[in-house]
Amino acid sequence: MAKELGRKIRSIRLKRNLSQSEMADILGYSGKGMISRLENDSAEMSYEKLMLLLSRFGEDFEGETIETLAPKADSAVIKSANLVLKAIGFAELDDVLSLKVAPHQRDFVAENALAIAEAYAAEREGGKTQCFVAYHKNAPVGFASIALGSIGAKREKEWMKKSYCLWRIMIDMNYQGKGFGKELLTSVIRWCATKPLGEADAIYTSCDGKNEGAISLYQAAGFEVTGEKIEGEIVLKRSLMGGHSDE
């Protein structure tokens, strides 16, 4: 990371009378240690976090370009046998918005544009989120969004606010039936098991009780029906203890 960025983060933090812990919360890091490392130039900021920094403190960067602050990081964060998952930035927006489900699935899956907007809103209110687009041989095939903390759902339980939430997941209608859904889900579980957004013991999701295909997919990956509901959908939960998923 460019030294200028480390100095800039410290300057902004002191100017606004923010502690390192408070700055970490704003940028979605799990603790103040990362802010300390950024300020000491012993860690690099991802391109997505840089975009968040600019969106929150844009007035402090007047006249400065992104390239002078930090190089664009490789956004490929998860690789599996057939998929590469990339954290969504400007370059990936068109790809994720091009993904569509089949007409009969539209009642079960929200539009990806709405999912991204919800993730942004959650970040603005103190939540921690990450959105991914999945590629197969450079073609976009799927989308997933994950949160840690409140997603603002009705009847959201306290344990949910302390767990990872698989908020949205979908496979484009042209790529269904090829095993990509299972592979995307497994990749997301493995990512969450590394606690990238903060500590948690479980991951949960919710879906329409009539969506038998989704329920079967989740149960095959180790999720169990909890008997609870949020916003009219059944809740399924899976432990993140004991390492990565091998399903």
Neighbour count for residue 243 (Cβ, 10 Å): 9
Contact 230, 155 (CB under 8 A): yes
Residue with tokens 């190089």: 71
CATH 1.10.260.40 in the chain, residues?
Answer: 3-69
Q: Give the Cα separation of 202 and 241 in Å (integer).
A: 7
Residues 3-69, CATH architecture: Orthogonal Bundle (1.10)
Sheet holding 128-136, edge to edge: 76-79, 84-87, 128-136, 139-148, 164-171, 202-207, 233-239, 224-230
Contact 127, 151 (CB under 8 A): yes
H or E element in which residue 145 lies: strand 139-148
What pLDDT is recorded for position 246?
A: 43
What pLDDT is recorded for position 84?
A: 92
C-alpha distances (whole Å) from 158 to each of 93, 110, 148, 169, 211 are: 32, 24, 12, 23, 26
Contact 221, 188 (CB under 8 A): no
Q: Give the Cα separation of 100 and 106 in Å (integer).
A: 9
Those residues of the chain that have pLDDT short of 70 are 1-3, 47-48, 62-76, 242-247
What pLDDT is recorded for position 157?
A: 92
What pLDDT is recorded for position 1?
A: 41
Q: Give the Cα separation of 123 and 171 in Å (integer).
A: 24
Taking only the tens place, the pLDDT of each residue in 183-193 is 999 999 999 98
C-alpha distances (whole Å) from 211 to each of 75, 85, 189, 225, 233 are: 32, 25, 20, 13, 10
Question: What is the pTM (predicted TM-score) of this model?
Answer: 0.67
Taking only the tens place, the pLDDT of each residue in 117-139 is 888 888 888 889 999 999 999 99
What pLDDT is recorded for position 110?
A: 74
| Alpha-helical regions (H) of 72-147 | 93-97, 112-124
Q: Give the Cα separation of 231 and 241 in Å (integer).
A: 27
What pLDDT is recorded for position 185?
A: 95
Say whether domain 76-239 belongs to CATH 3.30.1370.100: no
What pLDDT is recorded for position 234?
A: 95
CATH 3.40.630.30 in the chain, residues?
Answer: 76-239
